[in-house]
Amino acid sequence: MTSISLRVEILRARIQKACEACNRVPSSVELLPVSKRQPIELIQAASEVGFATFGENYVQEGLGKAQACPDLSFVLIGPLQRNKAKQALQHFTQIMTVDRPELALRLRHLAEELQLSRGIWIQMDLWGEETKQGGCSEAELPALIDALEGDVRLPLQGFLAIPPPGNPEAFQDMARLRQTWQDKLGQRLRLSMGMSDDLEEAIEAGSDQVRIGTAFFGERNR
pLDDT at 221: 59
pLDDT at 222: 55
pLDDT at 219: 79
**41 contacts 61 by C-beta, under 8 angstroms:** no
Distance CA(71)–CA(47), nearest Å, equals 10
- Strand, coil or helix: what is 66? helix
Written as one letter, the residue type at 22 is C
Written as one letter, the residue type at 140 is E
pLDDT at 130: 58
pLDDT at 166: 82
User: Which regions in the chain score pLDDT beneath 50?
Assistant: none
CATH 3.20.20.10 given to domain 3-217: yes
Q: Check the CA dihedral 129-134-57-35 and report its sign.
A: positive
Q: Which residues contact 150 (CB under 8 A, 6 or more apart)?
A: 156
For 46, other C-beta atoms within 10 Å of its C-beta total: 23
pLDDT at 128: 84
